[in-house]
């Protein structure tokens, strides 16, 4: 059985299989979320031991 993701918005709730997940943390948290996912400056990510998925120095 695959894990499910639950999302609650107002009074309704939906459960979906995690085929694709979009996470948003706002302008303050997004860079760290992207970097933890391997998206960012390759040099910086490698220095932290994070596998680079996409070298994007602007993150």
C-beta of residue 22 within 8 angstroms of C-beta of residue 33: no
Residue 46 pLDDT grade (very low, low, confident, very high; cuts 50, 70, 90): very high
Q: What is the pTM of this model?
A: 0.60
Domain regions of the chain by residue span? 5-55
Name residues whose C-beta falls within 8 Å of residue 15's C-beta, 6 or more positions apart in sequence.
4, 5, 6, 7
**What secondary structure does DSSP assign to the chain, as a single string?**
----EEEEETTEEEEE--SS-----HHHHHHHHHHHTTEE-HHHHHHTTPPPSEE-TT-
Would you say residue 42 has pLDDT above 60? yes
C-alpha 35, offset from chain centre: 8
């Amino acid at each position: 059985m695959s894990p499910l993701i639950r999302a609650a918005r107002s009074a309704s709730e939906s459960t979906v299989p995690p085929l694709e997940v979009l996470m948003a943390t706002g302008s303050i948290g997004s860079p760290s979320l992207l970097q933890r996912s391997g998206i960012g400056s390759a040099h910086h990510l490698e220095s932290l031991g994070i596998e680079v998925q996409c070298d994007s120095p602007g993150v």
